[in-house]
Amino acid sequence: MQDMLKSKSTFLAATVAAVLMTAGTAGAASLEQITESGTIRIAVANEIPYGYIDMSGEAKGAGPDVAKHIAEQLGIENIEWITTNFSSLIPGLEADRFDMVAAEMAILPQRCEQILFSEPNTSYGEGLLVAAGNPKDLHAYSDFAEGDAKVAIMAGADQLEMMQALGVPQSNMVTIASNADAISTVATGRADAYAATGLTASELAGKSDDVELASDFVDPVIDGEEVRSWGGFAFAQGSEELRDAVNEALAEFKQTDEWRQTVSQYGFTEADVEGSFERTTEELCAAE
């Protein structure tokens, strides 16, 4: 009897493991499946002005607004918006929790190894959120390479790689879960600054008198090049057909004044708009 129970337990355990393994490797929905259902699941990280859900529950930002146009062009009638932490965007794609990400995620070589990217939709520079009055006189990411000033970085954000490249020690970096934690982290002194894109830092600075945007900010220079990011839509591996369809619609939209007005209304400068045409995803994924 014990041997029989043991055999049944082993069988059940193996079955559960198989089910979990299958669920964890679920394939991404195809373009045909999405168009037939009429619904696409798109994730944002609630980061203004890139992709967020406003107080009325409407998806807004440079990513969502352009994604809405693309979905319409592809004949997709409904978008199911999903919010998650930035660090959960790639794992969510890999686990088939959504079909596409519209968070203007920076196109980086290490990310290209995990997921697929569209061609760039936007480009943007860097910035620093500091305590009111900037008591530590911080104006660049390199300011944290020496001394004891601490900089906060959002989990999963590419500012971590920038800091590492600039020689900032781990002891001077503080990880936070989301942009929503940035103001309190800086205002309470847990960190002396928050490193983010210039648009994000500026948006956060306008929300509280306890913080401000670091003036005279100096963009980081790594390997002799000034750092600029290119943001695109992201997809799971295996979603080449969906990615290609999005690219085709995006390329057409970017030739219009409507696209320029769409991204410009969220604070993207003329340099940001023109910069989005300067690099291809192939070049960005192959960068060293």
Residue with the bigger pLDDT between 43 and 16: it is 43
What pLDDT does 27 receive?
A: 64
Q: Closest Cα partner for 130 from 203, 178, 187?
A: 187
- The answer to whether residue 28 scores a pLDDT higher than 60 is yes
- The answer to whether residue 24 scores a pLDDT higher than 90 is no
Q: Give 3-state DSSP helix, strand, coil % of the chain, rounded to 5.
A: 40, 25, 35
Q: Closest Cα partner for 268 from 125, 166, 136?
A: 125
Model pTM score: 0.79
- The answer to whether residue 20 scores a pLDDT higher than 50 is no
Residue 213's Cβ-side half-sphere holds a number of Cα atoms within 13 Å equal to 18
CA 266 to each of CA 14, 260, 263, 280: distance values in angstroms, whole numbers, following the listed order: 51, 10, 6, 23
List pLDDT tens digits, range 87-116. 999 999 999 999 999 999 999 999 999 999
Interatomic CA distance for residues 88 and 155, integer angstroms: 9
Going by the DSSP 8-state scheme, the letter that residue 140 receives in this structure is B
- The answer to whether residue 10 scores a pLDDT higher than 60 is no
pLDDT over 90 percentage in the chain? 84
Q: Which domains does the chain carry?
A: 31-124+228-286 (3.40.190.10), 126-226 (3.40.190.10)
List pLDDT tens digits, range 224-240. 988 899 999 999 999 99
- The answer to whether residue 15 scores a pLDDT higher than 50 is no
- The answer to whether residue 219 scores a pLDDT higher than 90 is no
Interatomic CA distance for residues 215 and 231, integer angstroms: 24
The dihedral built from the CA positions of residue 43, 246, 79 and 21, taken in this order, carries a sign that is negative
Mean pLDDT across 141-154: 97
What pLDDT does 142 receive?
A: 96
Helix (H), strand (E) at residue 200:
helix 198-205
- The answer to whether residue 16 scores a pLDDT higher than 60 is no
